[in-house]
């Protein structure tokens, strides 16, 4: 069904659940390292393996991170809350229950304001943010789908078991109409930027440290009751969030328009074609038999602690953007371009490293954006740091590089040839600033073009252009053209 | 020559310290005793001869080199309930599910025993995962009461009480979720203590019902129990429910009580714990004990704790609920038993088959009860309601301790029953814990001290003394006074075992 047609008949309703892995040094309930990518089952102990007799001890830093996230999302912080056990069997869950929060989350009832591409602000309500532990990872070998069904055997890695997670759940998002997919992407983007500013997570969707589940349903225009929803799991990039919501809207629209019913189920997002496919059915909603975790004591954060944490909140990304826009004297449109290019923080860091905002902006939104597009990566994923860009800018300002040479230096950095100064040396890219060598080249060019030399001597300075061009050619562009012109005139007036 | 196995832990420690004997000699004499009689009583599931002798040798070496003893119990042998993990030594919890499992880590209690120079002889038998009152639920066969080997030695810690009563060890560790230390103590004529919840670390105690489980000392005298209590007690950062406070001064209280003077002590008799279902001989022994306490200067008052009547039903909702969750981890994936994994079955099928094969009937009964009680739609009526009863019971205790220093009752309604007598009647089995359960629900400390023999069957009877939270020393004082008033230890009247 065409997207417009869906919207002519239905209102989309969204609910987004985001899981964030915290970047604490250790796991949620034990002293094991919390690090991505270790050899399987090397970051484990009796507690995170759920061995008989083991007990959890709560990571205080994780609680602080949870409260800071809650505060940054304008939530209330619970005066008293507990963990609960969520009981279900799965091989990658060592205890066959997940220690999580249930009806007593640490943070609840907040909101996040998002800016869409055209500058419109949308407020998304936050239902709750609660703490829980991550599960291990299963690798299903030998099946067609990589899922447990049809696999020959499965491998289990418990390094991730017990990694601290915060689950952030939105209130239902209604009334966004055609912009629902964009709102979903903008929400996850804003949340990612916020979490990055807080410094509580690596927020790498590709590594699973930020994971989004998108609940989507449609209700016929003018109706009050929500339709049956589906939950699309583990959508692993910002772009995928938008695609998944859009796909579900059109899929559900087609089903409903054809007189069918939406099945309440989990769906899997297919990165390759942007579709979703049916997963576990949820019609008999699973009974997790929650009850308060008896191995942990309740958490009762004092109001002093909460206020102290509120004081540690960094400048929020949207506040920072406002300030930066003013500092750099940009129009709303110019700034939005910068935002949409994903360049704000990169430019800001480049400025922090000593560059002017105009130069930094120019590099990131033009040449580097082109390079990112060529490589089909996000700007931030280019293998060049703001500090390196700032260094290139300063080499140009010092007259050691021309703009053309500077681009070559950047190419070298992107190609992994090292720091800008190393690339200059390795590629022999320094501006020829030795006046002796330049003078010789100028004399040579003048001797080869006696007519022009005569004209210059006669006062026709404009004729110097040809000589400058020849010198630049002779020095393979590594001379400073301005200096060459000065020398040409000097040699013709002696 | 003195039979070392007949001495108390305090006496043994003193003789080792003064080199009158050695830890190795003491350990060897207990290992010999185990070899000689354990076939008749089956107290042990695993005997760690090498580990025990090695630990004893280390104590002797320390003494020889003039080092001060690691603790007042250095060199004394102990029998450890098989529900506490021991690095490198099998831990089965009395279940087929964990047959052959060798933990990679020590429980905090185990670690503290080792650090104190206490010699761990081996692991004692128990009802599977501590569910039961007789050890008949052990997957490895029941232990037998040294007073009458046709009778049960109590449970779940029947292996530990048997080891004490059969003079296989002077000290033992038990765990008490609803009475599993006190009831075995009562029916074997030994001392069993459930400390204040949080007073002894649960780290490495294989969880049955987390909010009720508490490890504690078992011995043949009150002083020995107190000495052991101070070795294993105290705050442990690895257990979030562990209390960050000093261990109550229980040894000093036991010594003070031994003077036999209870002047100024107010003792409450719980009126709810008598009447129907109580063996007359048990009640007569209890009444005589109360008179003895009065004779030592204690003021005796009757105290009503009306909500104690609901303790048993509340317990049998909370305990199975927590149990159903705690025992979910036994799924064949990471350790322990795995059956039917022939390459054609799914993980889920292997899990189900393993749990079917590995758990005994009582464990399955509790898992099913708990799963039901926690289910959506039943939670409020069962688990939620039971938690409210728990609060009411705690209030009953608070009110009682506003009037008296300690409460007393029979430890268990009957003396040791016959093996097989109650196996088909879970309700009858559950009634064995009628008097002990309230202290678990409120987290308050309680102990059982022998109060003599029942006049109708000649079997031991236990006197339960209960104290307010963190006031464990009060019950030690009263129990030590009572013990001192008796004509020798009850356990010294046990007959010699007949070994086939």
Tell me the chain A residues in contact with residue B346 when contact means C-beta distances shorter than 8 Å: 148
Task: Compare A477 and A171 and report the one with higher pLDDT.
Answer: A171
B202 to chain A: which residues are within 8 Å by CB? 55
pLDDT of residue A311: 96
Contact state of A51 with B104 under an 8 Å Cβ cutoff: yes
Mean pLDDT of chain A: 91
Question: Do B104 and B127 meet the contact criterion of CB atoms below 8 Å apart?
Answer: no
CA of A332: how far to CAs of A248, A321, A329, A375, A379, in Å? 33, 11, 10, 29, 21
Q: Using CA coordinates, name the residue in chain A closest to B371.
A: A289
The alpha-carbon gap from B83 to the nearest alpha carbon of chain A, in Å, equals 8
Q: How many residues does chain B have?
A: 500
The radius of gyration of chain B's CA atoms, rounded to the nearest angstrom, is: 21
pLDDT at position A143 is 72
A393: pLDDT strictly greater than 60: yes
| Cα distance between residue A230 and residue A264, in whole Å | 5
Query: A448 pLDDT band (50/70/90 cuts)?
Result: confident
Core vs surface per residue B173-191: b (16+ CB within 10 A) or e: bbbbbbbbbbbbbbbbbbb
* Residue B326, pLDDT above cutoff 70: yes
Annotated active-site residue B485? The verdict is no
| Catalytic hit among B29, B156, B442, B454 | B156
Contact B85 A56 (CB under 8 A): no
Q: What is the pLDDT of residue B145?
A: 98
Mean pLDDT across chain B: 97
Contacts A–B by Cβ distance under 8 A: 102
Residues B311-324, mean pLDDT to the nearest whole number: 97
Please indicate whether residue B161 is annotated as part of the active site: no
Interface of A with B (CB under 8 A): 46, 49-58, 85, 87, 89, 91, 94-97, 148, 154, 156, 287, 289-291, 294-297
The CATH classification of domain A435-492, taken from the options 1.10.3470, 2.60.120, 1.10.10, 1.10.1740: 1.10.10
- Could you tell me if B378 lies within 8 Å of chain A, comparing CB atoms? no
How far A289 CA sits from the closest chain B CA (Å)?
5
**Neighbour tally for A270: CB within 10 Å:** 14
Separation CA B170–CA B151 (nearest Å)? 22
Question: Considering the domain B4-258+446-465+474-493 in this protein, what is its CATH number?
Answer: 3.90.1300.10
pLDDT in tens, B241-275: 999 999 999 999 999 999 999 999 999 999 999 88
What average pLDDT does the segment B19-24 reach? 98
**Which residue in chain B is spatially nearest to A154 when comparing CA positions?**
B347
Confidence band, pLDDT 50/70/90 cuts, at residue B1: low
Using the Cβ of B66 and the Cβ atoms of chain A, whether some distance falls under 8 Å is answered with no
Residue B385 tokens read as 């309601």
Distance (Å) from the alpha carbon of B49 to chain A's nearest alpha carbon: 24
DSSP category for residue B377 = T
**What are the residue ranges spanned by the domains of chain B?**
4-258+446-465+474-493
Percent of chain B with pLDDT over 90: 95
Binary contact (A291, B375; C-beta < 8 A): no
pLDDT of A339 > 90? The answer is no
CB atoms A94 and B237 under 8 Å: no
Length of chain A: 494
Across B81-96, average pLDDT: 98
Chain B, 325 to 344: residues with Cβ < 8 Å from chain A are: 325, 328-331, 333-335
- Of the candidates B85, B101, B325, the beta carbon closest to that of A87 is on B325
Residue B131: pLDDT above 80? yes
Note which residues in 81-120 of chain B have CB less than 8 A from chain A: 84-85, 91, 93, 98, 101, 103-105, 107
Q: How high is the pLDDT of residue A452?
A: 86
B121 touches chain A (CB under 8 A): no
Residue of B nearest to A50 (CA): B329
Domains of chain A, by residue range, sit at: 3-309, 317-427, 435-492
Report pLDDT digits (tens) over B343-386: 888 889 999 999 999 999 999 999 999 999 999 889 999 999 99
More confident residue, A207 or B144: B144
Chain B nearest CA to A66, separation (Å)? 20
Q: Cα–Cα distance between B98 and B358 in angstroms, integer? A: 8
CA–CA gap between residue B175 and residue B182 (Å, rounded): 9
E strands present in B271-427 = 299-303, 406-410
What is the residue whose two structure tokens read 């040791």?
B416
Cβ contact A294–B211 (<8 Å) = yes
**Distance in angstroms (rounded) separating the CA atoms of residues B267 and B404:** 6
Question: What's residue A433's pLDDT?
Answer: 66
Select the more confidently predicted residue: B304 or B499.
B304
Residue B335: closest C-alpha in chain A: A51
Element (DSSP H or E) covering residue A3: helix A3-9
Predicted model pTM: 0.88
Closest residue, chain A, to B344 (C-alpha): A152
**Cα(first)–Cα(last) distance of chain B, in Å?**
26
Average pLDDT over residues B37-42: 98
In this predicted model, what pLDDT tens digit does every residue of B407-449 receive, in sequence order?
Answer: 999 999 999 999 999 998 888 889 999 999 999 999 999 999 9
């Amino acid at each position: 069904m065409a997207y417009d047609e869906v919207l002519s008949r239905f209102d989309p309703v969204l609910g987004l659940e985001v899981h964030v892995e915290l970047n604490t040094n250790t796991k949620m309930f034990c002293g094991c390292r919390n690090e991505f990518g270790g050899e399987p089952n090397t970051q484990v102990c009796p507690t995170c393996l759920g061995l008989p007799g083991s007990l959890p001890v709560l990571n205080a830093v994780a609680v602080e991170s949870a409260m800071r996230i809650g505060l940054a999302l304008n939530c209330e912080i619970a005066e008293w809350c507990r963990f609960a056990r969520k009981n279900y069997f799965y091989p990658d869950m060592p205890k066959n229950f997940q220690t999580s929060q249930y009806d007593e989350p640490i943070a609840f009832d907040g909101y996040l304001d998002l800016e869409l591409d055209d500058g419109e602000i949308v407020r998304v309500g936050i239902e709750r943010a609660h703490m829980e532990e991550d599960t291990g990872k299963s690798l299903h070998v030998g099946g067609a789908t990589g899922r447990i069904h049809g696999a020959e055997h499965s491998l289990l890695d418990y390094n991730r078991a017990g990694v601290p997670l915060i689950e952030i759940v939105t209130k239902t998002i209604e009334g966004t109409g055609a912009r629902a997919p964009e709102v979903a992407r903008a929400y996850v983007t804003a949340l990612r930027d916020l979490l990055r500013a807080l410094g509580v997570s690596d927020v790498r969707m590709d590594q699973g440290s930020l994971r989004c589940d998108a609940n989507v349903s449609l209700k016929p225009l003018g109706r009050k009751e929500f339709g049956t929803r589906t939950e699309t799991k583990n959508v692993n990039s910002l772009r995928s969030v938008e695609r998944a919501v859009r796909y579900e809207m059109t899929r559900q629209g087609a089903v409903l328009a054809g007189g069918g019913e939406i099945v309440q189920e989990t769906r899997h997002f297919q990165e390759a074609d942007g579709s979703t496919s049916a997963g576990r059915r949820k019609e008999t909603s699973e009974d997790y038999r929650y009850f308060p975790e008896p191995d942990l004591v309740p958490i009762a954060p004092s109001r002093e602690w909460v206020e102290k944490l509120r004081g540690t909140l960094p400048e929020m990304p949207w506040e920072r953007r406002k300030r930066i826009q003013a500092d750099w004297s940009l129009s709303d449109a110019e700034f939005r371009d910068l935002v949409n290019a994903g360049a704000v923080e990169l430019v800001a860091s480049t400025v922090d490293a000593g560059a002017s905002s105009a130069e930094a902006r120019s590099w990131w939104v033009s040449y580097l954006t082109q390079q990112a597009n060529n490589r089909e990566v996000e700007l931030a994923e280019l293998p060049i740091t703001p500090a390196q860009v700032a260094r290139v800018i300063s080499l140009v300002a010092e007259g050691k590089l021309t703009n053309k040479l500077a681009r070559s230096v950047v190419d070298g950095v992107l190609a992994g040839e090292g720091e800008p100064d190393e690339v200059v040396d390795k590629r022999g890219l320094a501006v020829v600033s030795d006046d002796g060598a330049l003078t010789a080249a100028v004399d040579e060019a003048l001797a080869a073009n006696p007519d022009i030399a005569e004209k210059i001597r006669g006062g026709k300075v404009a004729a110097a252009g040809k000589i400058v061009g020849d010198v630049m050619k002779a020095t393979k562009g590594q001379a400073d053209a301005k200096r060459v012109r000065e020398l040409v005139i000097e040699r013709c007036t002696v | 020559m003195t039979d070392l196995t007949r001495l108390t832990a305090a006496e043994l420690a003193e003789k080792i310290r003064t080199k009158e004997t050695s830890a190795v000699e003491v350990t060897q004499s207990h290992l010999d005793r185990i070899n000689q009689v354990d076939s008749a009583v089956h107290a042990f599931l695993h005997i760690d001869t090498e580990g025990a002798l090695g630990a004893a040798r280390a104590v002797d070496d320390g003494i020889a080199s003039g080092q001060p003893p690691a603790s007042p119990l250095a060199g004394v042998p102990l029998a450890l309930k098989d529900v506490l993990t021991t690095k490198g030594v099998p831990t089965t919890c009395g279940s087929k599910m964990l047959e052959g499992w060798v933990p990679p880590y020590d429980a905090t209690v185990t670690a503290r025993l080792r650090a104190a120079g206490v010699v761990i002889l081996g692991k004692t038998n128990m009802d599977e995962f501590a569910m039961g009152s007789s050890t008949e639920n052990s997957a490895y066969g029941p232990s037998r009461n040294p007073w009458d080997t046709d009778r049960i030695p109590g449970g779940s810690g029947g292996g530990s009480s048997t080891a004490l009563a059969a003079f296989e060890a002077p000290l033992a560790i038990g765990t008490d979720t609803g009475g599993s230390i006190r009831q075995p103590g009562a029916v074997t004529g030994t001392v069993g203590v459930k400390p204040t919840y949080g007073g002894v670390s649960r780290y490495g105690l294989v969880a049955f019902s987390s909010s009720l489980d508490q490890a504690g000392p078992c011995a043949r005298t009150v002083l020995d129990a107190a000495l052991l209590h101070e070795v294993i007690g105290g705050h442990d950062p690895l257990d979030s429910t562990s209390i960050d406070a000093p261990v109550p001064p229980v040894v000093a209280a036991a010594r003070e009580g031994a003077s036999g003077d209870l002047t100024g002590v107010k003792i409450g008799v719980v009126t709810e714990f008598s009447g129907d279902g109580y063996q007359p001989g048990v009640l007569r022994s209890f009444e005589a004990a109360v008179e003895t306490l009065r004779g030592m200067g204690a003021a005796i008052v009757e105290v009503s704790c009306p909500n104690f009547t609901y303790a048993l039903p509340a317990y049998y909702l909370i305990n199975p609920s927590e149990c159903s969750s705690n025992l979910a981890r036994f799924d064949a994936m990471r350790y322990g038993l795995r059956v039917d994994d022939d390459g054609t079955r799914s993980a889920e099928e292997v899990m189900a088959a393993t749990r079917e094969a590995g758990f005994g009937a009582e464990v399955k009964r509790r898992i099913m009860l708990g799963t039901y009680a926690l289910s959506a739609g039943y939670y409020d009526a069962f688990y939620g309601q039971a938690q409210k009863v728990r609060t009411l019971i705690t209030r009953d205790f608070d009110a009682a301790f506003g009037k008296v220093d300690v409460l007393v009752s029979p430890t268990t309604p009957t003396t040791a029953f016959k093996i097989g007598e109650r196996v088909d009647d879970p309700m009858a089995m559950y009634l064995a814990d009628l008097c002990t359960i309230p202290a678990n629900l409120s987290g308050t400390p309680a102990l059982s001290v022998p109060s003599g023999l029942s006049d109708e069957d000649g079997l031991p009877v236990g006197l339960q003394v209960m104290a307010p939270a963190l006031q464990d020393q009060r019950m030690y004082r009263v129990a030590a006074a009572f013990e001192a008033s008796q004509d020798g230890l009850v356990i010294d009247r046990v007959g010699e075992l007949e070994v086939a």
